[in-house]
């Protein structure tokens, strides 16, 4: 084997999909590779032209462009491009230009096709099954913007640092100096460890920061032997390790905190500071949240909310993925509630008893978009007395729901709002209500379950919402009759695919010749994922995070969770882009997508995504009907 070919083989062997090729196949491939050199600024591929090679970057960097001329992605050594065109109609799908002097390996289409046929791992990378193009598309969309995929856990560069609650502030300062950290978690070694890890975050009882040492100790002239328990913050705001950097930043800005403990499976694994994540996010959406918290009246909030469509379209145009957009819009919605409740208490006075205001549905799942109504409710302390306390909470609920309507969150047609007295219940009443819905799953109970089982506390005694979520997950997992009923209910909305794999469209009315991509796409997918999540006892709310728990439980056939993740992302992003396009055209955004507005490539991927949903619904029916009969 020639030295040059050996060097090519060695390089390719370090990058997928070549890593899994047998050495003999790798050597043969290297012997047929052609080498191309492009000076900085040279065009490599032009949209629409014939493509006959798969390209691998040896050195340098390449920019890929959409048909509109907008930058799509930048890739460097080991990066692959041209595969989209080879998989489709042998026409370039993304133009390519060298960002700097670049050397590329060009693999002829003949050997590309041959290796796809002969070597399964190689084929799996590109076209393993009917959903391959869909997976590639979703993956490339995510890779095009690192901000959309950065998770909080990626910011943790060291293990969590603790001190005991009885440590002195001087000892804490010494630990911070030695460990080069700006904050410490405080733990109580005497705190009993609960049997159920889902019910507690462990023995962590507080947090101190360098700011606390400056303002509460040095500036106040406090004795350095003072226990840290006297200056620590105890009402901690925490973030899950799976949360996006964007979401953590929004929480910091909304609640004016500079440090967030990060937990994994309810256990602290580190702390991130505001300075750790500033580089991960653009300023526009974040400054919106900061500005929102500075508004002083409902009128101000209403006026400020008119910026939301621009925030939404900006994220879409920056190629944010659906999870990030849903999370951002949900946090913005929760922040509106947060501010309205603050204003309500300022007007009505302090609450007579503790309460928790909860978000429901898509906002609780972090899947809210620009077209939405308000679903919310109140959890009241068990000491609630309608005669003594009823007027206060009636006025508070009305203030918040009316304020949300003024800010663009329309009233719920089904009355699922805290302003409805049916949804202002004590904690014990809520627990009894959830138990009754699961024990007696009639149609009304199933409808309510599909809404109320996605809940999140946004103000007040947030731990009550967490406890209800824990109760629901445990009870549902042990109630096969309810799971079977929920599964049956989740099958009522089917994907819009006909017998010959064509789209089934509305035939009359305002939205004729279109399909409701929420009612026939994202909603049934969310319903399906919720059933599986309840079946495995997941406490997660977001559909993508629920799929992670489902995958860990190993209840679906191999590879099906990845299929569902790709399908959910693609259907959601098609819905999002449709709404963003309508906003830019000055139209009122909706969920009715006309297929003729999509390219052939987009239509094909959308059909594949709907096909994944169709197969997943068939499995859902089989799994939970059989399970119900066996119990």
Query: For the segment 558-585, what is each residue's pLDDT rounded down to a tens digit?
Result: 889 999 999 999 999 999 999 999 998 9
What share of the chain in percent tops pLDDT 90?
56
> Which residues, including other chains, have CB under 8 Å from residue 68's CB and lie 6 or more apart?
none
In this prediction, residue 148 has a pLDDT band, given cuts at 50, 70 and 90, of: very low
DSSP string over 537-602:
T----SHHHHHHHHHHHT-S-TTHHHHHHHHHHHHHHHHHHHHHHHHHTTPPP-SEE-GGGS-HHH
| Bridge partner residues of 50 (DSSP) | 91
Residues 368-395: tens digit of each pLDDT:
998 788 899 999 999 999 999 999 999 9
Determine contact, residues 115/121, Cβ cutoff 8 Å: no
Determine contact, residues 176/273, Cβ cutoff 8 Å: no
In this prediction, residue 323 has a pLDDT band, given cuts at 50, 70 and 90, of: confident
Tokens of 494: 């089917």
Residue 420: per-residue pLDDT: 96
The whole-number average pLDDT for the span 534-553 is 93
List, by residue range, all CATH 3.10.580.10 domains of the chain: 152-282
Tokens of 186: 């405080």
Residue 254: per-residue pLDDT: 75
Per CATH, the number for 488-624 is 1.20.120
Residue 286: per-residue pLDDT: 63
The whole-number average pLDDT for the span 592-603 is 86
CA 598/CA 607 separation, integer angstroms: 12
Residue 194: per-residue pLDDT: 55
**Residue 507 burial (CB < 10 Å; 0-12/13-18/19+)?**
exposed
Is the CATH number 3.40.190.10 carried by domain 152-282? no
How many C-beta neighbours within 10 Å does residue 578 have? Answer: 21
Residue 397: per-residue pLDDT: 97
The whole-number average pLDDT for the span 230-256 is 82
Residue 359: per-residue pLDDT: 96
Residue 85: per-residue pLDDT: 84
Confidence (pTM): 0.64
**Hunting for tokens 């399909």 — which residue is that?**
515
For residue 400, CA distances in Å to 394, 418, 511 come to 10, 9, 33
Residues 60-98: tens digit of each pLDDT:
999 998 777 777 778 888 889 998 888 767 889 889 999
Query: Rounded to the nearest 10 degrees, how much is the dihedral formed by the CA atoms of 172, 178, 181, 182?
Result: 50
117 against 138, higher pLDDT: 117
Q: Which CATH superfamily is domain 285-472 in?
A: Beta Polymerase, domain 2 (3.30.460.10)
List, by residue range, all CATH 3.30.460.10 domains of the chain: 285-472
Residue 294: per-residue pLDDT: 82
> Which residues, including other chains, have CB under 8 Å from residue 340's CB and lie 6 or more apart?
298, 301, 399, 400, 403, 404
In this prediction, residue 503 has a pLDDT band, given cuts at 50, 70 and 90, of: confident
Residue 512: per-residue pLDDT: 77
**Hunting for tokens 């062997």 — which residue is that?**
13
Residue 156: per-residue pLDDT: 81
| Bridge partner residues of 185 (DSSP) | 162, 207
For residue 501, CA distances in Å to 131, 566, 569 come to 14, 19, 20
Determine contact, residues 396/389, Cβ cutoff 8 Å: no
In this prediction, residue 172 has a pLDDT band, given cuts at 50, 70 and 90, of: very high
Q: Kindly report the average pLDDT of the chain as a whole number.
A: 86
**Hunting for tokens 């006075």 — which residue is that?**
349
DSSP string over 194-243:
PS-GGG---SEEEEEEHHHIIIIIITTT--TTSBGGGT-B-S---EETTS
DSSP string over 76-144:
ETT-EESHHHHHTTSB-SSEEEESSSEEEEEEEHHHHHHHHHH-HHHHHHHHSSTTHHHHHHHHHHHHT
Nearest to 23 by CA among 53, 1, 47, 54: 1
CA 377/CA 253 separation, integer angstroms: 25
**Hunting for tokens 């911070």 — which residue is that?**
176
Does residue 128 register a pLDDT over 50?
no
Residue 531: per-residue pLDDT: 95
Please enumerate, as own/partner, the contacts of 233-237 that have beta carbons within 8 Å and a separation of 24 or more. Answer: 233/206, 233/207, 233/208, 234/205, 234/206, 236/204, 236/206, 236/207, 236/261
Does residue 282 register a pLDDT over 60?
no
CA 44/CA 466 separation, integer angstroms: 54
148 against 466, higher pLDDT: 466
CA 490/CA 475 separation, integer angstroms: 19
Does residue 312 register a pLDDT over 80?
yes
Does residue 528 register a pLDDT over 90?
yes
**Hunting for tokens 């805290």 — which residue is that?**
418
Selecting from 3.40.50.2300, 3.40.50.300, 1.10.3810.10, 2.60.120.10, what CATH number does the domain 3-139 have? 2.60.120.10
Does residue 250 register a pLDDT over 80?
no
Residue 283: per-residue pLDDT: 41
In this prediction, residue 280 has a pLDDT band, given cuts at 50, 70 and 90, of: very low
């Amino acid at each position: 084997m020639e030295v040059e070919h050996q060097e090519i083989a060695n390089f390719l062997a370090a990058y997928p999909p070549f890593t899994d090729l047998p050495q003999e196949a790798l050597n043969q491939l290297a012997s047929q590779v052609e080498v191309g050199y492009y000076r900085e600024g040279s065009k490599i591929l032009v949209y629409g032209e014939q493509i006959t090679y798969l390209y691998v970057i040896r050195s340098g960097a390449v920019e890929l462009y959409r048909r509109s001329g907008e930058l799509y992605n930048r890739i460097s050594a080991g990066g692959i491009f041209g595969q989209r065109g080879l998989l489709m109609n042998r026409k370039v799908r993304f133009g390519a230009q060298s960002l700097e002097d670049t050397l590329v390996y060009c693999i002829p289409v003949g050997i590309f096709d041959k290796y796809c046929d002969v070597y399964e791992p190689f084929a799996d990378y590109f076209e393993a099954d009917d959903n391959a193009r869909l997976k590639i598309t979703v993956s490339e969309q995510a890779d095009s913007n690192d901000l959309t995929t950065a998770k909080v856990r990626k910011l943790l560069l060291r293990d969590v640092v603790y001190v005991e609650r009885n440590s002195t502030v001087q000892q804490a300062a010494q630990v911070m100096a030695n460990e080069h950290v700006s904050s410490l978690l405080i733990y109580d070694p005497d705190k009993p460890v609960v049997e159920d890890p889902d019910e507690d975050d462990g023995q962590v009882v507080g947090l101190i920061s360098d700011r606390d040492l400056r303002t509460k100790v040095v500036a106040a002239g406090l004795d350095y032997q003072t226990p840290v328990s006297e200056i620590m913050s105890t009402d901690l705001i925490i973030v899950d390790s799976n949360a996006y950097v964007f979401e953590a930043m929004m929480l910091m800005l909304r609640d004016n905190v500079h440090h967030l403990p990060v937990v994994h499976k309810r256990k602290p694994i580190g702390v991130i500071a505001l300075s750790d994540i500033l580089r991960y996010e653009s300023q526009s959406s974040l400054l919106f949240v900061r500005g929102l918290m500075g508004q002083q009246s409902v009128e101000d909030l209403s006026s400020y909310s008119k910026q939301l469509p621009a925030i939404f379209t900006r994220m879409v145009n920056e190629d944010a993925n659906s999870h990030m957009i849903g999370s951002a819009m949900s946090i913005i919605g929760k922040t509106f509630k947060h501010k309205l409740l603050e204003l309500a208490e300022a007007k009505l006075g302090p609450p007579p008893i503790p309460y928790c205001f909860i978000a429901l549905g898509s906002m609780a799942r972090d899947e809210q978009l620009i077209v939405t109504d308000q679903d919310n409710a109140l959890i009241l302390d068990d000491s609630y007395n309608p005669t003594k306390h009823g007027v206060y909470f009636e006025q508070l609920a009305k203030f918040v729901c009316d304020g949300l309507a003024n800010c663009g969150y329309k009233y719920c047609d089904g009355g699922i709002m805290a302003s409805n007295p049916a949804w202002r219940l004590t904690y014990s009443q809520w627990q009894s209500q959830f138990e009754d819905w699961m024990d007696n799953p009639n149609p009304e109970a199933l409808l309510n379950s599909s809404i109320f089982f996605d809940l999140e506390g946004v103000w007040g005694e947030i731990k009550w919402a967490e406890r209800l979520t824990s109760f629901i997950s445990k009870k549902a997992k042990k109630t096969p009759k309810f799971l079977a009923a929920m599964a049956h209910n989740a099958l009522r909305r089917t994907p819009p695919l006909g017998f010959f794999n064509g789209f089934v469209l509305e035939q009359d009315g305002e939205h004729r010749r279109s399909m409701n991509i929420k009612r026939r796409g994202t909603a049934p997918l969310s319903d399906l994922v919720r059933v599986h999540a309840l079946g495995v006892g997941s406490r997660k709310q977001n559909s993508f995070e629920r799929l992670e728990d489902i995958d860990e439980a190993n209840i679906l056939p191999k590879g099906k969770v990845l299929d569902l993740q790709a399908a959910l992302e693609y259907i959601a992003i098609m819905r999002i882009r449709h709404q963003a396009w309508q906003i830019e055209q000055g139209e009122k955004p909706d969920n009715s997508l006309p297929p003729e507005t999509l390219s052939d490539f987009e239509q094909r991927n959308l059909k594949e995504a709907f096909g994944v949903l169709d197969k997943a619904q068939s499995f859902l029916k089989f799994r939970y009907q059989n399970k119900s009969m066996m119990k």
